[in-house]
Structures are given as structure tokens and as C-alpha cells.
Structure 1
Amino acid sequence: MGVHRSALCRGPYGGEGHQADGTDCSDPAVFEVARHNRPPLLVCPVHLGPSLLLAAGVLWPPVVRLIGRPS
């Protein structure tokens, strides 16, 4: 679980590059949400639910993996 220790939350929308609107959360990522044809979305506990509903390419049923522990 320590691979992504320094990863920050990218929720709830999961934008990359210039489309990173709404990814200003500075909390550490605790979950990884699998997405179709996109990199996994790393999110904190607060943004897990919204990311499942709002992020692009999220698989259904969702595939969520624990990558850290909330502090």
C-alpha cells in the first residue's frame, strides 16, 4: 500500500493537464478508481463517492482499490 504515499487526490472529476478543473484537493490519495482508457483516478475518502458519479471513464460496476490509509 505504500507505493502511492505521496500521491495527492485528483477528485472528484479526475481531469489531467489543462483540464484539471476541480482537482485542487491537497489531501493524500487513499483510493484508486479504475477507468476505461484513462489512468486510474487517485482520490481521498471525501472525493471517492463524487468521483464514482462524476469522473470520466469510471468502470461500472466500479473497481476501487485501497492504496493508503487515511490519516
Structure 2
Amino acid sequence: MSVHRSAVCRGPYGGDDDRADGTDCSDPAVFEVARQGRPPLRVCPVHLGPSLLLASRVLWPPEIILIGRP
């Protein structure tokens, strides 16, 4: 889990770079959501639910990995 301690939340829409829209949350990422053909989406607890519904290419059923602690 220590590898991702500096990861920042990218939710809920799943922007892939620092300039992506909808990624203004500066909380640390706690979960990683698997996506098809895209890098995993790292999100905070607040954006976990919305990212499952709104982010592009989220696998269903979702694959969620705990990468940190709130």
C-alpha cells in the first residue's frame, strides 16, 4: 500500500492527466477501480460511488482494490 500513498483522487470522471476536467479533488486516493483499456482510476472514499457510475470504461461487476487508508 505504501507505493500509492501520494496518489491523488482522480474522481469521479476519471481524468487521466493533471489537466483533466472533473478532477479537482485533492484528497488522497484510497481505492483503485479497474477499467477496460485504461489505467485504473484512483479515488477517495467520497468519489468511489460516483466513479463507478460516471467514469468511463469501469468494469462490471466492478473490481475495487484498497490502496491506502483515509
TM-score, normalised with respect to structure 2: 0.95
- % identical equivalent positions: 80
User: Counterpart in 2 of 1:42?
Assistant: 42
Structure 2 CA distance for partners of 1:6 and 1:36, relative to 1, 3 Å: same
Which structure 1 segments of 5+ residues have no match? none
C-alpha displacement at 1:66, in angstroms? Answer: 0.1
Give the length in aligned residue pairs. 70
1:10 aligned partner, one-letter code: R
Deviations 1:17-65 (A, max 9, x none): 4871110000000000000000000000000000000000100000000
User: Counterpart in 2 of 1:52?
Assistant: 52
TM-score, normalised with respect to structure 1: 0.93
Q: Give the Cα–Cα distance (whole angstroms) in 2 for the partners of residues 7 and 18 of structure 1.
A: 12
Q: Give the Cα–Cα distance (whole angstroms) in 1 for the partners of residues 5 and 12 of structure 2.
A: 19
User: Counterpart in 1 of 2:4?
Assistant: 4
Structure 2 CA distance for partners of 1:61 and 1:19, relative to 1, 3 Å: farther
